[in-house]
Structures are given as structure tokens and as C-alpha cells.
Structure 1
Amino acid sequence: MAAPAAISIFSSSNSSSVSPRPRKRLLAEPVSGRSPRTLQPPPRTVASSRAPLVVSHPPPTPAPAPGHPKVDRSGRFCSPRAARELALMVAYAACLEGADVVRLFDRRVAARREPGYVFNKASLQSYNFMSFCGGPLEVATEEEAEKLMSQNEKDSANEAEVLSAPPRLVYNNFVLRLAREMLVAVASGWDQHVEIINKIIPQSWKDEPVARILELCILHIAMAEMTSKETPHKVAINEAVDLAKRFCDGGAPRVINGCLRTYVKDHMDIGTGHPSESKE
């Protein structure tokens, strides 16, 4: 019997039987002439210019507590959240380019800087891992709306600079090592997790899997963390939901939360942290 469409979309990057059509798997053949894409949060815009003005932007979130700095003494990101974000960017790019996730990561980390390139490390201090695309906000005047839009533009430019910079300039060795371990776990558990993902995602995601590559990558990373890295499932789920809040839109965070809770309930032995036999 032929495999369901959603399963045929996802195949291991080292599979010997590979369909030449990109829609047949995430890690497909390389797409010629396509430059690497940088993952960025969805744009935030002012939805109305009439009073009250509605601005699609969440209120600013507080900076990390001094006891949990996001930047170490070398001036680079040092938190596990940065590693998850980096792993997601590479996994997403690998799916778009048809590359092996681990090889793409190694290639990006080893890439030399272009002559004359200068990275502004001050951008790391203002980069906010907790900047989520929330619901619309109301402002009273055009001046407030313009001020908020101006701040949005600065934040977006800052995020673009950070996420497109060479990884060694942005992340310390701990983050680079952790991100690579996550991607190795994603690659090794890909085929097994594909079958489970096909059972737990909604039908609408199965119907348009290519439009949900980002969300599916988040699921793969979270499931790989729980099974291979033995990350507590509550931590992995919360981090996956936060990634969805940052980089996805619509109801993706809620769906990802539900899918991962179903995965833990039906496909994991919570006592040992290891996968259990799948329930039919």
C-alpha cells in the first residue's frame, strides 16, 4: 500500500530512494540558484490609522534577569534557547535547499567571512529571544503609532543582522555544540518521527505540508530533544511553543503544543524519557 501523502513528504536526508520532486520530501535535491534564506519573525504592521489605532505588536518584554545572561564574556549568545533557534534556522534552510541538516550546519559554521564584513556586536544586546508576535494593540494617537512602527523597523533590522551573521560571531562554542547535537538527533530520528508526526498533526497540515515546513521542523527538533537529548518534556514543549510564537503565525503555537502533548502521552514512556511502542 502506498504511503500517505504526509509521510512521503518527509524522508531522511540519507535515504537511498529519493524522489526528484521537492514536494516529495523535505530534504530534497538542492534547488539551483537559490541562496540561503534567513529565518525571521513575521512582519509586524499597523492595522489601522483611525482612532483608536490598532497596532499588531506585543508590549515590550523585560530583559533577562542578571543571573541568566544571554551574552557571555566573549560577547556571544550562550543560552540553550539560542541553540534551539539556530538549529531551527539551519533545519528550515536545509529543507528549502535540499541539503543535509548536519552538513549544512558544518558548512555555515566553517564559512569564511566576506572581505570587509563587520558585525556590530551591540546588536546582540538588543536582540530579544522573547519578542513574540502577539495580538493587536490599541494606541491613542498617530504619533504613538509612528513611534511603535519605527521601533518595529529597528527591531526587524536588528534581528535580520543577527540571524544572517556568521554563526561563530553570534554564538559561543556551547551554543554551537548544542545546536549541532540537536541537528544530529533530528537527522537520526527523522524517519521514526515522520511516521508519528503524520499521525498527530491536523489534516490541514497534511494537505499543505510544504507550507508548514517551519512548523514541522519545530516538531522534529522538540521530539529529537525529548528522545535523544532526554530534555524534560515540559521544557521541550514550552521551548517549541515559544519558537512557534516567534517565527510562525496563526494558531501554530497552539497546534504544536497539542501535537507534542499527544506525542508525550501516546508515544513516550514518561518514566524513562524514552519512546514507547506506538499505539495503534
Structure 2
Amino acid sequence: MEAAAPAIRTFSPSSSSSPSAGSRPSRLLAGAASRRPRALTAPPRPRAVASSRAPLVVSSPPPSAASGTPSPAHAKVDRSGRFCSPRAARELALMISYAACLEGTDVVRLFDRRISARREPGFVFDKASLLSYNHMSFGGGPLEVGTEEEAEKLTSQNEKDSANEAEVLSAPPKLVYNNFVLRLSRELLVAVASGWDKHVEIIDKIIPQTWKDEPVARILELCILHIAMAEMTSKGTPHKVVINEAVDLAKRFCDGGAPRVINGCLRTFVKDHVTIADASQPAESKA
């Protein structure tokens, strides 16, 4: 039975330490229209679709994981067997932001609640799944293959990859991410919350009209913009790095032309809102 579309709220931009932090929902966008959100507990990943039309030619290579050998360069795990890269911190921040928007709760409170949550009795997490997880695996267009056997093999591999990702993304964060990642992710979310209202106004001016008409269907994309803007203005990360990371997140978890749009929006943000502030800082420091 299909559930009724929930009321759309986002987390309050006020500090998570405030008693009324979750008392009032803030806007996802100015003048947001109500649409059904994607009912997901974690951001989706577009999967390649195998085609068996004749004549059949492989138009692009299958995912690297199809070889069965995980790439250490992509694993990014430390000696404790947990993710340790900034990319993992941004992914975690995106998942928490997305869930907070769907739940209408404060993003930092939700993060803290997820971190401190107790494991269910009998829960077992296989850390080997982290080695098979690839932060740089992007969805793409359909793949044409030569035989039905190749199509079935590719489909089976995609299903295994999706199941592995679901296990990793739904596991308790402390089992998946080391302290550096958890700390960085929380810092990003604090910055997102503190700059939410200001960035909402900017985002409403720079995104395409189609995104304004369907903001709920674009929660993931809007969360990526908020995280990137917050990192630029609060962490001092080079703009090119932040933009590249945001585009990669869009390639991984969004679909269609989202990566291109996010790239354009963030470049506009840097040009019109960040560079001016950066240029004024040296003058202020000399004064």
C-alpha cells in the first residue's frame, strides 16, 4: 500500500543546543512547492542497466568491482578498518542532511543521535564490506553487452554492489568511520545549520527554475549545495576541491544533469558571494 506523502519540513537552522532547535521547520527553498520525496533512508545510487539488443557491443566498461578485486586506492580505510578520508565525511554529512530534511529535525541533533544509538541485539557488521565499497564508483548510462550471459553477470554484480553499499551506509557510523571522519562530518553539519538561512536565499537565486518547481524531488541536490557552500565559507577548503567533491557526490547519488547544474551553481556562488568576501579579508586584517 502506498503511503501518503509526508508534510515537507527541514531541520531548524538554529543551534542544536537550543531547546527549540526542532520546534520550527525552516525552508528548503523560498517558495517551495510540495512534491513527494524519495522514500529513502540513504541517498540512492544510479545503477547501470545491462542491455542485450542486437547487434551488441560493450559501449563502456563494466564497473571495476566486477573483477572481484577491490581497489585499495578507493577503500580509504585506516588500521582500525574504518573509512578515514574527507570524501567519507562528506558522504556521511550528505546522508544525515538528507534524513534530517525528510524527518524535519535538526541536522546536528540527528547526527549526535545516530552516533550514540545502541546497536540492535545480534547485529553483526562485516568490515570486509568496507574494502569493496568504492567512493569513486559513479552511475552511468546503459551498458550494451554481447550476450545474455554477460548481461546477467553485470546485473548480478550491480545487485551485489548495491547490497554492499546498503550494508555500509546503514551500519552504525562508529563501525564505519574513524574519529577524524566523524569529527569532520559533524563540523560540516554545524556549518550547514548555522549558514542555512543565508544559503537558502542564495540557492533560490542560482538554481534553475525546474529545481524551484520540484524542491522535494531535489532534496539530495540541495543538500549537496548546502554542504559545499558551508565548507567553502567555514572550513577554508580550496574552492576547486569543494566543487569537485560536490560534483562527485552528485555523480554518485543523483541522476540526470545534476552534476553539471551543481557545478554551475557553485561556480556562480564562488564568483558572486565567496571571492568578494575573501578579497575583503586582507584589507580588514591590514587595517
TM-score of the aligned structures, taking structure 1 as reference length: 0.82
Q: What is the aligned partner in structure 2 of residue 63 from structure 1? A: 71
Q: What is the aligned partner in structure 2 of residue 80 from structure 1? A: 86
Q: How does 1:246-257 map to 2 (within 5 A)?
A: 246-257=252-263
Q: What is the aligned partner in structure 2 of residue 224 from structure 1? A: 230
Q: Using CA pairs under 8 Å that are at least 6 residues apart, name the structure with larger relative contact order, 1 or 2.
A: 2
Q: Provide the C-alpha distance between the structure 2 equivalents of 1:147 and 1:83, rounded to a whole number of angstroms.
A: 32
Aligned-pair distance for 1:141? 1.1
Q: What is the aligned partner in structure 2 of residue 202 from structure 1? A: 208
Gap change, CA 1:17 and 1:38, over 3 Å in 2:
closer
Q: For 1:244, what is the secondary structure of its paired residue?
A: helix
Aligned-pair distance for 1:98? 0.6
Structure 1 unpaired stretches of 5+: 1-7, 27-34, 276-280
Q: How big is the alpha-carbon RMSD for the aligned residues of Structure 1 and Structure 2?
A: 3.1
Gap change, CA 1:16 and 1:109, over 3 Å in 2:
closer
Q: Provide the C-alpha distance between the structure 2 equivalents of 1:48 and 1:175, rounded to a whole number of angstroms.
A: 42
What percent of counterpart residues are identical? 74
Describe the superposition over 1:227-256 as per-residue Cα deviations: whole angstroms up to 9, x where unpaired: 001110000000000000000000000000
Gap change, CA 1:273 and 1:147, over 3 Å in 2:
farther
Q: What is the aligned partner in structure 1 of residue 107 from structure 2? A: 101
Q: Which amino acid aligns with 2:237?
A: T
Gap change, CA 1:114 and 1:56, over 3 Å in 2:
farther
Q: Provide the C-alpha distance between the structure 2 equivalents of 1:179 and 1:250, rounded to a whole number of angstroms.
A: 27
How many residues are aligned here? 258
Corresponding position: 1:162 with 2:162: no
Gap change, CA 1:24 and 1:248, over 3 Å in 2:
same
Corresponding position: 1:238 with 2:244: yes
Aligned-pair distance for 1:268? 1.1
Q: What is the aligned partner in structure 2 of residue 91 from structure 1? A: 97
Q: Provide the C-alpha distance between the structure 2 equivalents of 1:145 and 1:78, rounded to a whole number of angstroms.
A: 35
Please say if residues 10 and 101 of structure 2, whose CA atoms lie closer than 8 Å, have aligned partners that are also in contact: no
Corresponding position: 1:191 with 2:197: yes
Gap change, CA 1:23 and 1:178, over 3 Å in 2:
closer
Q: For 2:50, what is the secondary structure of its paired residue?
A: coil
Please say if residues 46 and 140 of structure 2, whose CA atoms lie closer than 8 Å, have aligned partners that are also in contact: no
Q: What is the aligned partner in structure 1 of residue 145 from structure 2? A: 139
Q: Which amino acid aligns with 2:181?
A: V
Q: Provide the C-alpha distance between the structure 2 equivalents of 1:95 and 1:133, rounded to a whole number of angstroms.
A: 24
Q: For 1:118, what is the secondary structure of its paired residue?
A: coil
Please say if residues 185 and 225 of structure 1, whose CA atoms lie closer than 8 Å, have aligned partners that are also in contact: yes
Gap change, CA 1:49 and 1:116, over 3 Å in 2:
farther
Q: Which amino acid aligns with 1:46?
A: A
Q: What is the aligned partner in structure 2 of residue 150 from structure 1? A: 156
Aligned-pair distance for 1:201? 0.3
TM-score of the aligned structures, taking structure 2 as reference length: 0.80
Q: Provide the C-alpha distance between the structure 2 equivalents of 1:128 and 1:16, rounded to a whole number of angstroms.
A: 35
Gap change, CA 1:132 and 1:273, over 3 Å in 2:
farther
Structure 2 unpaired stretches of 5+: 1-7, 15-20, 33-38, 282-287
